[in-house]
Amino acid sequence: MSRPIVLSWSTGKDSAWMLHQLNRDPAWRPVGLLSCLHAGEVTMHRVGSGLVAAQARAVGLPLQTVSLPWPCSNIEYEARLGEALAALADAGIGHVAFGDLHLGDIRDYRESLLARHGLEAVFPLWGQDTATLAREMLAGGLQARVVCVDGARLAPALVGRRFDADFLAELPAEIDPCGEFGEFHTFTEYVEDFREPVRVRAGETWQDGLFHHVRLSAA
């Protein structure tokens, strides 16, 4: 019997591909999305709540958001997210999926945090070769746009570009093809599991410290 699972949803390619894999795994039944919003935007991705909701409609799953202030202390983050996790446990949900690939310290933190609320963390993409995974995403029809780049490691001009074969070919050798170390972040417009695409247009770009962002709006 499949077990219900909620997905930690960042709006990016890893979240979308995680959904893609879970939908094809008879052990799991995705039942919802969970997103943390700082001042109405997904952290780092800086994608507004309206586009997050549009993805949830395309997926056909209910979206639960955790509203966080900006800036937000870790104590406040854990308190507010903890309320959402406790509500999941009360509703009979025992597992939350994350799209992390290789960072062991982040995995340990997530597992510890969820355990406090009687939940288990699941990592469907864990340990996969990121170059292979990036190619699999594109071959599987995933369409995404780069919404944030670390200007200390990548050219700011890459922000707003599509995540595609040309983008991967332009990445320096030391950059992870999936951006696992925070080199870049994406917004997914389409994956096979979407009922319809969530088309966006790229607007203004801006810099916040080392990071360069692009403002997305519905196309």
Q: SS3 letters for 103-129?
A: CHHHHHHHHHHHHCCCCEEECCCCCCC
Verify that 118 and 135 share a domain, yes or no.
no
71 by DSSP, 3-state: which?
coil
Would you call 136 exposed, middle or buried from its count of C-beta atoms within 10 A (0-12, 13-18, 19+)?
middle
For the cut 90, the answer to whether the pLDDT of residue 70 exceeds it is no
Choose the final residue of a domain: 94, 122, 150. 122
Q: For residues 120 and 95, is the Cβ–Cβ distance under 8 A?
A: yes
Give which of 30, 35, 42, 27 is closest to 6, Cα–Cα: 30
Boundary (domain end) residue, out of 91, 122, 153: 122
Same domain, yes or no: 53 and 30: yes
Task: Examine the domain organization and report whether 93 and 182 are in the same domain.
Answer: no
| Whole-number Cα distances in Å, 111 to 11, 87, 210 | 21, 17, 29
The pLDDT assigned to 44 comes to: 87
Task: Please count the structural domains in the chain.
Answer: 2
Q: Give the pLDDT mean for 12-34.
A: 98
Percent of the chain with pLDDT over 90: 96
Record the pTM.
Answer: 0.96
Q: Which two tokens stand for residue 113?
A: 């945090």
Structure tokens at 134: 């990036």
Q: Identify the CATH number of the domain in which residue 198 sits.
A: 3.90.1490
Structural domain that includes position 81: 3-122
Strands 162-163 vs 120-122: parallel, antiparallel or unpaired? unpaired
Report pLDDT digits (tens) over 131-169: 999 999 999 999 999 999 999 999 999 999 999 999 999
Question: Above 90 in pLDDT, residue 43?
Answer: no
Burial bucket for residue 1 (CB in 10 Å: 0-12, 13-18, 19+): exposed
Closest CA to 96 of 13, 10, 158: 10
Examine the domain organization and report whether 104 and 174 are in the same domain. Answer: no
Quick: pLDDT tens for 177-212.
999 999 999 999 999 999 999 999 999 999 999 999
CATH code of the domain covering residue 79? 3.40.50.620
Mention every residue, 6+ apart, whose C-beta is less than 8 A from residue 218.
50, 51, 54, 198, 199, 200, 201
* Whole-number pLDDT of residue 71: 86
Residues 41 and 80 in one domain: yes
- Same domain for 188 and 118, yes or no, is no
The string of pLDDT tens digits covering residues 74-108 is: 999 999 999 999 999 999 999 999 999 999 999 99
Sole residue written with tokens 């966006």: 200
Indicate whether 159 and 87 sit together in one domain: no
